[in-house]
């Protein structure tokens, strides 16, 4: 006699393999390295600091 095969397990394994393929392709398309994330974060902080430094505060202006 042949081996008994649980079809639910087979379907789940097949679905899991398909999901892994999709996840793998998404990692390639949308993934970023930790280094590139840190660089972007530093650039944002620098630009925010620059804008804050250039901001004119109305309470600090001379009232002459």
The domains of the chain are located at 17-55
Chain mean pLDDT for the chain: 89
Cα torsion 34, 38, 39, 44 to 10°: value is 140
More confident call, 4 vs 44: 44
Q: Which two tokens stand for residue 53?
A: 């430094």
pLDDT at residue 5 in the model: 84
Q: What is the mean pLDDT of residues 51-64?
A: 77
When computed from its CA atoms, the radius of gyration of the chain, rounded to whole angstroms, is: 28
Distance CA 31, CA 12 (A): 26
How much is the pTM? 0.46
pLDDT at residue 58 in the model: 77
Distance CA 41, CA 34 (A): 11
């Amino acid at each position: 006699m042949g081996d008994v095969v649980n079809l639910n397990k087979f379907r789940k394994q097949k679905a899991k393999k398909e999901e892994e393929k999709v996840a793998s392709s998404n990692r390639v398309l949308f993934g970023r390295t930790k280094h590139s994330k840190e660089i972007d974060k530093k650039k944002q902080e620098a630009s925010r600091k620059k804008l804050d430094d250039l901001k004119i505060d109305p309470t600090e202006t001379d009232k002459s």
